[in-house]
Amino acid sequence: MKQQIQPTFREPRAAVIFRHTTACIRNSHHTDASFAQAVAETYMGIVAPAERVVDFHTGTDTDAIEKAQRANAQLIARFRNGTVKLPVDLEEAWVSAMPSPWGEECARELAQRYGSWALACRSCSRIRGCSTPPGCPSSSGKP
């Protein structure tokens, strides 16, 4: 009789990110709304406007900014609750928006899936998005 091999499924990447996000919001200074705004600002800061697939909201006056923040919080909530799939373009900004140690732990767990280790820049402690200031070890290719 042939033995059936049972597949072993891994937790989806989005679930890993959301698990770390939940821990981050629970245990850091962030609220759901402030974290959503951090993701939006990070995303808009590192992805060129023509390349963006997520339309985060911005405002020019106090009322518009408050509306934009509520709308951004709703967008992030839709990703987290599974209503909308997390786009791959948003992953890097999302992980980078998490403060230490949650962002680093999340990046390491995601990198381990490919047999790699995520290393933070020693100068600025960022996983990605380091501007490699003069003297930063990352500028010489060494994290």
CB within 8 Å of 26: residues ≥ 6 apart: none
Residue 125 banded pLDDT, cuts 50, 70, 90: low
Find the range with the poorest average confidence among 10-14, 38-42, 124-128: 124-128
- Of the pLDDT bands very low, low, confident and very high (cuts 50, 70, 90), residue 122 is low
Using 50, 70 and 90 to split pLDDT, how confident is the model at 1? low
Rounded to an integer, what distance in angstroms lies between the CA atom of residue 8 and that of residue 65?
Answer: 45
Residue 56: CA count within 13 A, CB half-sphere: 28
Q: Would you call 54 helix, strand, or coil by DSSP?
A: coil
Dihedral of the alpha carbons of 65, 67, 68, 70, in degrees to the nearest 10: 120
**Would you kindly state where each structural domain of the chain is located, as residue ranges?**
13-117
Which DSSP category does 114 fall into? T
* Alpha-carbon gap, residue 55 to 57, rounded angstroms: 6
pLDDT in tens, 97-113: 999 999 999 999 999 88
**What residue type is 81 in one-letter code?**
N
| Furthest CA-CA distance within the chain | 72
What's the mean per-residue pLDDT of the chain?
85
Distance set, CA 16 to CA 1, 74, 110, 114, 133 (Å): 38, 20, 8, 14, 31
